[in-house]
Structure 1
């Protein structure tokens, strides 16, 4: 069972600006991770970290590990036959 909750944020103008800046920075970092992933044809989490972690940490700060995980989610969709095989094996829901 999955529980979904909607939350409405009501930040002060200063906090809203800080949140927006944080999200824009995280988005730029994830875009860089995705670009490197496609250039290197590397989509596994551990392998992608080897290629990107130091660069992301130096450029965007200490949350690099989380950004690499989000950027990794941009990998290409598996082909239909691969999806069917994963469904039959019970590895895809």
Structure 2
């Protein structure tokens, strides 16, 4: 089975603090963030709700996308989230079921 990589955005809440990352195991990485093991930044600002994720089969493409999104204006990041998740639902629950 081919490896899948995800670029993901976590939020502290609607229009709150954002964290953008890339991972080869989205469910595990989100679990780490939710339990204070993901990153010091995410833990400090309680950034734990998965609000956006994009899948890639190529790690380099995923990393390039993550770097690009990080450079975007905040308004563009919010638009990206709201395009597919207008209610800012926590998508983490859907990962394990």
Alignment TM-score > 0.5, same fold: no
Instruction: Determine which structure has more spread, i.e. the larger CA radius of gyration.
Output: 1
TM-score, with length taken from structure 2: 0.27
More helix by share: 1
Give the structure, 1 or 2, with the largest relative contact order (CA under 8 Å, sep 6 or more). Answer: 2
Richer in strand (by share): 2
